[in-house]
Structure 1
Amino acid sequence: MKHDTGSCFPANRVTSLLGCSYPLVQGGMAWVADANLAAAVSNAGGLGLIAAASMPPELLEAQLIKVRELTDKPFGLNIMLMSPTVDQVIKLAAKHKVPIVTTGAGSPGKVIDFLKPLGTIVIPVIASVAQAKRVEKQGADAVVAEGMEAGGHIGELTTMVLIPQITDSVEIPVLAAGGIADGRGIAAAFALGAEGVQVGTRFVCCTESTVHPAYKEAVLNARDRSNVVTGRFTGHPVRCLKNRLTSKFEELEKCGATVEEYERLGAGRLRAAVVDGDVDWGSVMAGQSAALVNDIKPAEEIIRVMFQEAFQVTASLSGKITC
């Protein structure tokens, strides 16, 4: 990184690919990443995402229309491949000419095959070297390599060990995700070989974020041991902030509950937290970086300050590391 405290990051493969000032993608957080947040991040020089998740198609279409009313910058759509509405989401992405799509929770083959010929940039979120190599062969334009520090559904490797292995294994650009909430994390990601970052939890506590104030407060109050991972036995582990719901999940696991019983308890709990503000029995998904989030600021200030700090950290290393 060149030292620069201005509004633009020196162009690299990620900024050129995304058409952004900063090599930063906002995480595709279900129920959190709506048109308001996506537009705010894009207007601030990053790439904002709308999370399709299992959103009804008519609501998603309204969001895709709204985001273009709020920004003329590039934006993206996160597609959860396990969603029952995934085929409709892909068609909506094509209809509305969404410039960039990120994918998660499944193989992105059909997304790449359908949308890339239309000019859409496709960036899968992956958690292993095997996945990265596979999606590169399928035609992915870049990958987001997400460590287990991230919130929501996670893999098994930490960001620290995952990123160097991914960058050594593929030729396409790599964005790092998981545990990044300030400039120190961005500098570390670049030191590990990434060319960009994806940031999720920090943007929960963003002025433009429409999540319930109680959800934001839970993130602001998080400490280093406030996180817990539940559901490992289901094959789909999830990282959340500890509350009565996560305690109940742990109780079910100890009692040998079935996957069906576990999933019944979890149904609708993310919306309950994000929209209704139920931080006791709702699923308060947040990464381990929640402990680094201490205030609510506009997206523009969050991004600008993070990159200023990243430049400063990088510059200071020249005096700390010598031969």
Structure 2
Amino acid sequence: MSITKLLGIKYPIFQGAMAQIALAPLAGAVSNAGGLGIIGSGGLSADRLREEIRKTREITDKPFAVNLMLMMHNIPELIQVVIEEGVKIVTTGAGTPAPYMQTFKENNIIVIPVVPSVKIAKKMEALGVDAVVAEGTEAGGHVGETTTMALLPQIVSAVSIPVIGAGGIADGRGVAAAFALGAQGVQVGTRFLTTVECPTHENFKKAVLEATDTSTTVTGRSIGGPVRSIKNSMIAKYLELEDAKASRDELEKLSLGSLRRAVFEGDTDNGSVMAGQICGLCNEITTVEEMITSMFAEAEQVFEKLGKVKFQEARELTFA
């Protein structure tokens, strides 16, 4: 079964579950536009998650999901809210859904983990999940080490469940590339940061709009928690501390509250502007609907052009 039929969506696109950002205004708009809107529950209380779910339902009557960061202490309470509110799709990260799979299945909840490696993808399939998101290191926020180009086809070859490609996708060319590598859909985060409905401070959006292909870097590798963000004063200081072999406590003290400072206060110099390497293509503000429809229209054009012209050109160049 295709991912669109499985989830009841028009376009095979997931909106990334960006912490503090992937809330009702964005998730509802994405679902209304035909994609899968996702509420990011990271940092939310059970009551706040319930509120966001209900706000999303006021915006859309289309399917949407909740992302669960499984390392969070209140995951059992969040899962209970998901069940009570009748959400039928969850994506997961930062841990294994194994302890909760029976509960999910008993409540007819579709489970789609985000994975950074073939090994974990195979483990997730063995658990009985419905699909996986293969996310490359190009993505913003918490990342693995393998690029999307290398990771995606290897996971597609290793599992029999649907695979969603993520990391470094911001236009129709990226969508087409993911499908060419075997994906049934894509997950996009950074491009959604430059939409009208994205509930971030204007300074945050401006930072993404002005970023280029070399504007991001990864911090936190020394403590086993790599995160990709746009370079600024806080990031530079963090990297200095890492180079000096600072303790986890010192690093966490510097970064504590940094995402909130950037997202809500607009402090993009001392806050954490999590975004992916594809920033350089995110150079205009559009509505979510405009973004999604143009992305898939471009993907269709790419496939048409490839089918009629590019493969023949490549063959002539290769075998001339």
Query: What RMSD, in angstroms, separates the aligned Cα atoms of the two structures?
Result: 0.9
- In structure 2, the partner of 1:315 is 304
Q: Distance in 2 between matches of 1:220 and 1:193?
A: 30
Structure-2 separation of matches of 1:179 and 1:305: 17
Q: Does 1:154 align with 2:154?
A: no
The answer to whether 1:85 aligns with 2:74 is yes
User: Within the alignment, does 1:133 sit opposite 2:122 as a pair?
Assistant: yes
Structure 1 position 233 matched with structure 2 position 233: no
Residue equivalent to 1:57: 46
Q: What is the CA deviation profile of residues 45-94 of structure 1, one whole-angstrom value per residue up to 9, with x for unaligned ones? A: 00000000021221111101111111100000011111122111111111
TM-score w.r.t. the length of structure 1 is: 0.95
Divergent runs of 4+, >6 A: none
Residue among 197, 214, 223 paired with 2:186? 197
TM-score with structure 2 length normalisation?
0.96
Kindly indicate whether the alpha-carbon contact (under 8 Å) linking 1:252 and 1:262 is maintained by their aligned counterparts in 2: yes
- The range that moved more, 113-122 or 164-173, is 113-122
Residue 155 of structure 1: SS of its match in structure 2? coil
Look up the SS of the partner of 1:239 in the other structure.
strand
- Name 2:59's counterpart in structure 1: 70
Are 1:247 and 2:236 an aligned pair? Answer: yes
SS in 1 for 2:311: coil
Q: Deviations over 1:112-150 (max 9, x none)?
A: 221122011110000100100001111100000000000
Contact (CA 8 Å) 1:54, 1:85: kept in 2 or not? no
Structure 2 gap ranges (5+): 316-320
**1:166 aligns to what?**
155
Q: Distance in 2 between matches of 1:195 and 1:301?
A: 22
Count of residues paired in the alignment: 312
- Mapped to 1, the partners of 2:116 and 2:192 lie a distance apart of 21
The residue number in structure 2 matching 1:103 is: 92
Query: Secondary structure of 2:310's match?
Result: coil
Q: Greater shift after overlay, 260-269 or 194-203?
A: 260-269
Q: Is the 8 A contact 1:176 1:194 kept in 2?
A: yes
C-alpha contact (below 8 Å) 1:54/1:84 kept by paired residues: no
Letter in 2 for 1:32: I
Greater displacement, 120-129 / 250-259: 250-259
1:4 maps to which residue?
Answer: none
Question: Using the alignment, how far apart are the partners of 2:260 and 2:6 within structure 1?
Answer: 33
**C-alpha separation between the residues in 2 aligned to 1:63 and 1:158?**
33
Quick check: 1:20–1:45 contact (8 Å CA) kept in 2? yes
The aligned residue for residue 291 of structure 2 is 302
- Looking at structure 1, the residues matched to 167 and 103 of structure 2 have their Cα atoms a distance apart, in angstroms, of 29
Partner AA of 2:311 in structure 1 = I
Task: Output the CA distance in 1 between the equivalents of 2:123 and 2:187.
Answer: 21
- Picking from 26, 31, 34, the partner of 2:20 is 31
2:197 corresponds in structure 1 to 208
CA displacement 1:278-322 (0-9 Å, x = unmatched): 101101000111111011111111000000000001111121113
1:263 corresponding residue in structure 2: 252
Deviations along 1:198-252, one digit per CA (max 9) or x if unpaired, are 0001111111111110000000000111001011011110000000111011110
Query: Matches of 2:281 and 2:156 in 1, distance apart?
Result: 26
Please give the secondary structure, in 1, of the residue aligned with 2:18: coil
Alignment-derived partner of residue 278 in structure 1: 267
